Structure 1
Amino acid sequence: MEYSTLGNSDLKLSAIAYGAFAIGGNMWGGNEQKDSIDAVKASIDNGVTTLDTAPFYGFGLSEEMIGKAIKGYDRSKIQLLTKFGLVWDGSNNGKGEFYFDSENAGKKVSVYKYASKANVIKEAEESLRRLGTDYIDLLQIHWPDNTTPIAETMEALGLLIQQGKIRAAGVSNYSVAQVMEARKTLDISSNQVSYSMLNRNIESDLVPYAKKNNVGVIAYSPMERGLLTGKYFKDGKLKENDHRNSYFQQFNLEKVNIFLDTIAPIADAKKATLSQLVLRWTNLQPAVTVVLAGTRNAAQAVANAQAMDINITQEEMQMIANALSKI
């Protein structure tokens, strides 16, 4: 495993991080808790020491399972990344920005983006409790809240740093303009954004900005929620409540399938899976410090960690780029 410093922070993060969205269950068709915890442990045991979660993932369940999974490990060797700013329990008292309706334990819940100073501090305390720790390595706003001044949110993060409750602060899904506004108040360390072979929008603005200003890029959805594994084209049936049934429709699936068939020989020659090739490719992109990879079981966790053992030559990178240009 490779480890890199995140932006201007003193955090050394594993190049592949465990992405804990799916183990929360909501929107993903569910998962066995034992399998999820085993996956976290297998990740850590194979060098993936960076774990990324959020209160919204399973409405607290994902953080709780991460907390259970890390018991018995040296906390100083694990980096916990979590978020704030998505509220579903009505504690925002109607404030904030309505995001969407979801379901929790069979009941409809309305999710709001809400990042007031008081809410940031409140959510941080709740995350500390669920994770069973006294500090968070990186705390990130989950989505921009257009009803709260960015400066107010950043002030709250700065206070949490001063109190020793978080080691560093970051943002997620921020535009370059929003990152610039945030940095007027607090020198944030990172921006977590969607980035994959099929979604390279950040290359035109965020990547050059991040490189110039020492802001780490944490890439999520590198596998496009499993589409780039190729499994969907072999067994495309998903559970009825799996959000990917609609998510995948944004892509030209025929061209994606052809693309995967084109690059498969590169993976085969390295005795690697498509997933491992895709993860390694993503890790090698400019400004990307960490690549998030979700897993549902221990075997997948080990495979993700082993992606960092793959060497991709410049010639092979160009072959992939040529194939991508045809999607």
Structure 2
Amino acid sequence: MEYRKLGQSPLELSAITYGAFAIGGNMWGGNERQDSIAAIHASIDHGVTSLDTAPFYGFGLSEELIGDALVGKDRTKVQILTKFGLVWDGSNEGKGEYFFDAEENGKKIPVYKYAAKQNVIKEVEESLKRLKTDYIDLLQLHWPDASTPIDETMEALSSLLQQGKIRAAGVSNYSLADVETAYKTLNLASNQVSYSMLNRSIEQDLVPYTTAHNIGIIAYSPLERGLLSGKYFADAKLKSDDHRNGYFGQFNPEKVKALLAALQPLAESKKASLAQLVLRWTSLQRGITVVLAGARNADQAASNARAMDISLSNDELQFIHKELAKLQ
């Protein structure tokens, strides 16, 4: 495993960071508690020291599972990354920016983006309880909230840094313009954004800026929710309430199949899976600090961690980029 410094923060994160969205269950067709905890333990056993979650994942369940999984572990050797700013319980009293309707047990639940100072403080206290800890290593705004001035949110994060309740502050899903505005108030540690072989738009403007200003990039959805593993072109089945039934529709299946077919021999030459090859490629791209990889059981978690064992030569990287150019 490689460990990388996150921007100007004191944090060193594992290059493969455990992504805990799926173990929350909602939008992913449910979860199995013991399998989820086993996945976290297997990640740690294979050198993954960083765990990324959010209150919204499972409406608190993902954070609770991480808290339970870390009981008895050396807290100083694990970095907890969580978020704030998505409210689903009505505590925002209609304030904030309406986002979408989530579903739980067939019931629609309105979700709001809400990053006002008082909500930031409230959510951190709730997360600390669920995570069974007294500090958060990296606290990130989950989504931009147009109803709250960016400087107000950044000031709340500055206050939490001074109090020692968080060790570093970041954002998620911020555009270049948003990052530039936030940076006027706070030296951000990171921006967590979607990035994959199929989605490289951040290379054009965001990565040059974050590289120049020493802001880390946390890449999420590097496998496009499992699509780039190749198994969904085989016999894998999705439950009816799995959001990927709609998510995968944005991609051209024939082009994705062709890409994976071209990459398969390279993966086999490395004695690796397609998923491992994709994760390793992602970790080697300019400006990418760490790569999030979700896992719902111990085998998946161990496999993700082993992706960092793969070595890719310049010629092999050039070959991959030539194949990616065919997606255009």
TM-score after normalising by structure 1: 0.99
Partner of 2:16: 16
Matches within 5 A, 1:283-302: 283-302=283-302
Give 1:302 deviation, angstroms: 0.5
CA distance in 2, matches of 1:88, 1:104: 11
Q: Cα RMSD (Å) of the superposition?
A: 0.7
Partner of 1:64: 64
Which sits farther off after the overlay, 138-147 or 96-105? Answer: 96-105
Partner of 2:180: 180
Give 1:104 deviation, angstroms: 2.7
Give 1:106 deviation, angstroms: 4.0
CA distance in 1, matches of 2:43, 2:70: 11
1:158 equivalenced with 2:150 (yes/no):
no
Matches within 5 A, 1:149-228: 149-228=149-228
Secondary structure of 2:258's counterpart equals helix
| Structure 2 residues without counterparts, runs of 5 or longer | none
CA distance in 1, matches of 2:222, 2:19: 11
Number of paired residues? 327
Partner of 2:48: 48
Partner of 1:247: 247
Matches within 5 A, 1:276-315: 276-315=276-315
Partner of 1:128: 128
CA distance in 1, matches of 2:226, 2:322: 22
Partner of 1:92: 92
CA distance in 2, matches of 1:82, 1:277: 27
CA distance in 2, matches of 1:202, 1:103: 30
Identity of aligned residues (%): 70
Q: Deviations over 1:300-327 (max 9, x none)?
A: 1000010000001111111111111111
Partner of 1:320: 320
Q: Deviations over 1:248-304 (max 9, x none)?
A: 110000110011000110000010000000000000001111100000100010000
CA distance in 2, matches of 1:30, 1:19: 16
Matches within 5 A, 1:98-117: 98-117=98-117
Give 1:105 deviation, angstroms: 4.2
Give 1:113 deviation, angstroms: 0.2
Partner of 1:5: 5
Contact kept? 1:59, 1:104, Cα under 8 Å: no
Partner of 1:141: 141
Please list every run of at least 4 consecutive aligned residues from structure 1 whose deviation after the TM superposition is greater than 4 angstroms: none
Secondary structure of 1:312's counterpart equals coil
1:229 equivalenced with 2:192 (yes/no):
no
CA distance in 2, matches of 1:109, 1:75: 34
Give 1:39 deviation, angstroms: 0.1
CA distance in 1, matches of 2:206, 2:72: 38
Q: Deviations over 1:88-109 (max 9, x none)?
A: 0000000000000112344321
Amino acid at match of 2:157: L
CA distance in 2, matches of 1:313, 1:29: 39
Secondary structure of 1:157's counterpart equals helix
| Structure 1 residues without counterparts, runs of 5 or longer | none
Q: Deviations over 1:219-261 (max 9, x none)?
A: 0000000000000000253111111111111000011001100
Secondary structure of 1:207's counterpart equals helix
Partner of 1:76: 76
Amino acid at match of 2:39: A
Q: Deviations over 1:167-208 (max 9, x none)?
A: 000000001110111011111110000000000000000111
Q: Deviations over 1:97-139 (max 9, x none)?
A: 0000112344321000000000000000000000000000000
Which sits farther off after the overlay, 49-58 or 95-104? Answer: 95-104
Amino acid at match of 1:89: D
CA distance in 1, matches of 2:224, 2:88: 26
Amino acid at match of 2:325: S
Amino acid at match of 2:276: Q
Give 1:8 deviation, angstroms: 0.4
CA distance in 2, matches of 1:237, 1:113: 32
Which sits farther off after the overlay, 106-115 or 239-248? Answer: 106-115
CA distance in 1, matches of 2:194, 2:78: 23
CA distance in 1, matches of 2:253, 2:105: 33
Matches within 5 A, 1:29-44: 29-44=29-44
CA distance in 2, matches of 1:65, 1:47: 19
1:268 equivalenced with 2:272 (yes/no):
no
